[in-house]
Chain A
Amino acid sequence: VTIRVGIPRALLYYRFYPLWTTFFTELGAEVVVSEPTTQEIFERGLKKFVGDTCLPMKLVFGHVITLADKVDYLFIPRMVSIEKDAYLCPHFAGLPDVLRALMPDLPPILDTHFNVRKKGVTMKSIYEAGKRFNKNPARVYHAYQKAQKAYQKFLERIRDGITPQEAIQAFDGKEVSLPKERKERLNIALVGNPYTIYDPFSSLNIIQKLRKLGAKIYTSEMIPDEIIEERVRSLSKRIYWTFGKETVGAAFHYLDSKEIDGLIYIISFECGPDSLLKEIVDDKARKNKKAAYMTLVIDEHTGETGINTRLDAFTEMIKRRRNKKVDTS
C-alpha cells in the first residue's frame, strides 16, 4: 500500500513543491496536493483560526482541512530556517503545533524539524524527513539527490523568465503557454513573499492582469542568489528573513537596473517582516527615481476593482514617463 502524503497548496509549496514531491515519490509515497485556493477553502480555514494573522497563514488552514480526509500524512515541516544564517518568519516555526492545537482531529503531521541556520543543509535533516518512508539512509540520500536535481531544474526554468507557478506546471508535465511578447512591452518587477504573489487567490491574479496590460513580469526568483546577497550587504545589518532578504535584494536590483520600468511590492496585511522592510524599499525608491514604484497591501477584503484601477494607473503612468523621456532626449 502506498502512503499518501498531503501537501497544502500554500506557503512554501510555491518554493519547494518540486523538491518535496520528487523526494516523497522517490521514497515510494504518493503526493496529494490540495486544490487551488477558492473562497470556500479560505472560509473553511478562517472558521478554525484563532487570533489574527496574515492571509497566507489563514489559507493554510483551509488547505489542510480539505486535505485531511484524503491523506495518511500531512507534510507540514517545521521550517525554522531554510538557509544558513537566516530564518523564516516565526509563524513557520510554530505552524505544525498551531495546526495540531486548533484542529485535533487531523491525520498525523510530518513535522520534520528543519533548521539549517547554523550548519547549512546536513545529512541529518534530510534523513529526518525521509526516515518514515525508508529507513535506509542511502535510499533517502539518493532520493534527496534526485529531488535536488528536480529542484535545480525548476529554479533554472524560473530564471529563464517564467513565474514559479508556471514552473510548477511545467514540472507537473503540463504545457506552459506564455503570452506573446508585444513590441511595446512594459517591464514590471514583482517582489514580495512568494506565497502571497503566486497564489492567484491572494494576489487576485495580479500576474495575469499585468500581462493583459502588456507587461513582462520579472520576479525575485529570477535573480541569482549572489546578486541578492551583494545588494543587501549595503544595509547596516543583514536581513535575517530569507524571503525578506530576497525581496529587498531584488527590489534594490530592479530599482537600479535600466530595463525595468516599474516595481510593485506586494505585501499581505499584517506580514511582520514586510511591515519593516517596506520602509527600507520605500526609502530606496524615494532616492532612486529611475523606476516607478508602488506597494500593494493585500488581504482577504481587497476588492478586485480597486486593484484593477491601481494597476491601470500604474501602467499608464509608466507609459507617460516613457513618452516624456523620448520627448526630452
Chain B
Amino acid sequence: MGTIGVLGEAIFKRFGREVILPPKTSKKTLTLGSRYSPEFACLPLKVTLGNLIEALEKGADTILMLAASGPCRFGYYATLQNLILKNLDYEYKLITLDYNMPNNLRKLKRLAKGKNWFQIGEAFRFGFLKLLTLEKIEILSHRIRPYEIKKGSTTRAYEEASRIIKKAFSFKKLRQAKREATSLLRKVSQDKTRHPLKVGVVGEVYTVLEPYANLEIETKLGEMGCEVHRPVWATKYMISMLPFFNRWGPRRKYRKSARPYLKQEAGGECIVSIGGTVLYAKRGFDGIVHIAPFTCLPEIVAQGILSKVKKDLGIPILTLVLDEHTAQAGFITRLEAFVDLLERRRRLL
C-alpha cells in the first residue's frame, strides 16, 4: 500500500531475508484482484489481493499482513485473502500482525533469523526512518508543485528523489540520500509570486496513500495549482496502531476537533476525515477533497457528517467515491470543476 512496502523491505533486508515487493500497482493488478474478490468488497481488498497474486507469481513464499480487529472490514482482509489464495492453489505461509503485541513480537523474533532484540529494534528504527524520509520528500513535493514553472517537472524530480531514497539501506546512506533528494526537488524552477489554493485531502487510508487507487489525485491537484495537505500518513497510521499511541498519538487532535460532530470513533479513518476537515477549515483552507472506496463503511458515516461540517464552517467539500470502474476523464473533469469553484470563491471573498 503506497509506500508502506518500503518499510517491510527495509526491515526484512536487515533480517537477512529476501524481500519480494509486488510490482507497482497497475491495471493488471486491479483486474487480477477484482476477478477473484467478492463482488461487493471494497477497493483496497481487490487491489491488495491483486498485489499478493503478483508477488506470489514472482516467487514469494511468505506473506506478511497487518490485521486490525474491527469494526472496519480491513481486519478481515488477511483471513479472506488467505481463503481465496488457498482456493487458487497458491502455496505460501501467512503471517499476520495484529493488536496482540506479545504475539507479534514472538512472530517477528522467529522471522528475524537469530538476530537479537537490539538488532531487531535497529531494523525497525531504520525502516521507520526511511519511511519518514520518503514522506518528508513527498510533503516537500506537495509544497513545490503548485509553484512549478514547467508542468510535470516536480513530479519527475520527486520520482527520481524517491528512487534515490529507496536505494539506501543503511543509516549513513539514508542521510546522504535525503540530502541529495531534497536538493534535487529544490532545484525545480519555481514561480514564487503565485498564490496557490490550499486544499486538504482526507479520506480512507488506503485510497489516500495509494496513488494508483486515487488516480494520483495529489499530483493532479498540485498541477492544477493547489497546495495539497493531508492528515493521513503511513507513519502516523502505524504509530496510532500501537498501544498507548492509539490513545495519545497523532489521532488525538483529530478526535478532539471532531468531537462536536462525532463523539465516538466509527472505525477506519472516519474520525480523522472529520477532524481533519474541521482543522483545515479553521486554518483557512480553500477546500477539502474527501476520497473513499465505494461502500467503505466508516467513510459513508463521515460523508453524512461532513455535509453538516460543510454548512457550519462554510468550506467546500468534494466527495469522490472510487472503485475499479472509476475513469480518468470523468475524475479529472470533476477535480477541475472543483478547483474552478474554489478559485472563483476566493476572488469573491
Known contacts: A80-B264, A113-B264. The answer to whether A101 contacts B41 by CB under 8 A is: no
Residues of chain B within 8 A of A297, CB atoms compared = 40
A80 surroundings in chain B (CB, below 8 A):
71, 264
Shortest CB-to-CB span from B321 to chain A, Å, is 8
Cβ contacts under 8 Å, B319 to chain A: 51
- Beta-carbon contact of B70 and A240 below 8 Å: yes
> B73 an interface residue at 8 Å Cβ cutoff?
yes
**B23 interface residue (CB < 8 Å to A):** no
Q: Residues of A contacting B182 with CB < 8 Å?
A: none
Inter-chain contact B304/A93, CB cutoff 8 Å: no
* B40 & A102 in contact (Cβ 8 Å cutoff): no
The verdict on B164 contacting chain A, using a C-beta distance below 8 Å, is no
The 10 closest A-B pairs by CB, nearest first: A94-B301, A101-B308, A87-B71, A275-B40, A240-B70, A90-B267, A98-B304, A94-B266, A51-B303, A93-B266
Check if B262 is an interface residue, CB within 8 A of chain A. Answer: yes
B32 CB–A CB distance under 8 Å: no
Cβ distance B12 to chain A, nearest Cβ, rounded Å = 23
In the complex, A111→B78 CA distance in Å?
34
* A270 contacts B304, C-beta separation under 8 Å: no
Assess whether A91 is in contact with B301, with CB atoms less than 8 Å apart: yes
Please give, as numbers and ranges, the residues of chain B lying within 8 Å of A94 by CB-CB distance: 262, 264, 266, 270, 298, 301-302, 304-305
Q: How far is the CB of A272 from chain B (nearest CB, A)?
A: 4
Contact present for A279 and B304 (CB under 8 Å): no
- A52 near B300 with CB under 8 A, answer yes
Give residues of chain A (65-86) contacting chain B, Cβ–Cβ below 8 Å.
78, 80, 86
CA–CA, A283 and B41, complex, Å? 16
- Asked if B80 and A279 sit within 8 Å, CB to CB, the answer is yes
Also in contact, A279 and B83, with CB within 8 A (given A51-B303, A101-B307): yes
Q: Considering only CB atoms, which chain A residue lies closest to B98 in the complex?
A: A237
Q: Are the C-beta atoms of A90 and B72 separated by less than 8 Å? A: yes
Is B304 a contact of A101 with CB atoms below 8 Å? yes
4 more A-B residue pairs beyond the given contacts A50-B307, A51-B304, A276-B80, with a C-beta to C-beta distance below 8 A:
A97-B264, A101-B308, A104-B308, A240-B75
The answer to whether B40 and A236 touch across the interface, beta carbons within 8 angstroms, is: no
Contact B264 A275 (CB under 8 A): no
Closest to B296 in A: A272
Shortest Cβ distance from B260 into A: residue: A97
A141 at the interface (CB under 8 A from B): no
A294 on interface, CB distance cutoff 8 Å: no
Query: Cβ of B263 < 8 Å from any Cβ of A?
Result: yes
Q: Is B261 an interface residue (CB 8 A)?
A: yes
- In angstroms, Cα B50 to Cα A66, docked, is 46
- With A87-B70, A113-B264 known as contacts, the answer to whether A276 contacts B303 (CB < 8 A) is no
| Chain A to chain B contacts (Cβ below 8 Å), 10 pairs | A50-B307, A52-B321, A78-B263, A94-B266, A94-B301, A97-B264, A102-B308, A237-B69, A240-B70, A275-B39
* Residue B5 at the chain A interface, CB threshold 8 Å: no
Q: Which residues of B contact A271 (CB under 8 A)?
A: 40
Name B164-194 residues within 8 Å CB distance of A: none
Given contacts A91-B300, A101-B261, contact A237 B78 (CB under 8 A): yes
* Chain A residues in the interface with B (C-beta under 8 A): 49-53, 78, 80, 86-91, 93-94, 97-98, 100-102, 104, 111, 113, 115, 235-237, 239-241, 269-273, 275-276, 278-280, 283, 297
- A276–B70 touching, CB < 8 Å: no
Whether B76 sits at the interface, judged by CB under 8 Å, is: yes
B292 to chain A, nearest CB (A): 9
| Closest CB in chain A relative to B296 CB, distance in Å | 8
- Interface membership of B67, Cβ < 8 A: yes
Instruction: With A239-B76, A276-B80, A283-B83 as known contacts, state yes or no: A89 contacts B308, CB within 8 Å.
Output: no
Q: With A93-B266, A240-B71, A273-B73 known to touch, is A101 a contact of B305 (CB < 8 Å)?
A: yes
- Contact residues of B between 36 and 66, Cβ < 8 Å to A: 38-42, 45
Contact, CB under 8 Å: A272 / B42: yes
Q: How far is the CA of A52 from the CA of B321 in the complex (A)?
A: 10
Question: Are A237 and B79 neighbours in the complex by a CB distance under 8 Å?
Answer: yes
Bound: A88/B298 CA distance, A: 12
Bound: A90/B268 CA distance, A: 9
Cβ contact within 8 Å between B73 and A276: yes
Inter-chain contact A90/B305, CB cutoff 8 Å: no
Q: Mark B16-49, 1 if CB is under 8 A from A, else 0.
A: 0000000000000000000000111110010000
Of all chain B residues, the one with the shortest Cβ separation from A51 is B303
Contact B76 A237 (CB under 8 A): yes
Is there a chain A Cβ closer than 8 Å to B87's Cβ?
Answer: yes
State which of A89, A275, A279 has its C-beta within 8 Å of the C-beta of B84.
A279
B235 at interface (Cβ–Cβ under 8 A)? no
Q: How far is the CA of A276 from the CA of B70 in the complex (A)?
A: 13
- Bound CA–CA A115/B266 (angstroms): 12
Residues from chain A with Cβ under 8 Å of B307 in the complex: 50, 101-102
Contact between chains at B297 and A91 (CB < 8 Å): yes
Contact assessment for B308 and A93 in the assembled complex, using a CB-CB cutoff below 8 Å:
no
How many Å from the CB of B163 to the closest CB on chain A?
36
- Among B71, B80, B262, point to the contact of A89 (Cβ < 8 A): B71
Contact between chains at A275 and B295 (CB < 8 Å): yes
Distance of A270 Cα from B304 Cα, bound (Å): 16
User: Which B residue's beta carbon lies closest to that of A57?
Assistant: B300
Q: Which residues of A contact B304 (CB under 8 A)?
A: 49-51, 94, 98, 101-102
Residues on A with C-beta less than 8 A from B69 are 237, 240
Contact status B305-A272, CB under 8 Å: no
CB distance from B260 to the nearest CB of A (A): 10
B295-335 residues with Cβ-Cβ distance < 8 A to A are 295-298, 300-305, 307-309, 319, 321
**What is the bound-complex CA distance between A236 and B39, given in angstroms?**
22
Q: Judging by beta carbons under 8 Å apart, are A275 and B41 in contact?
A: yes
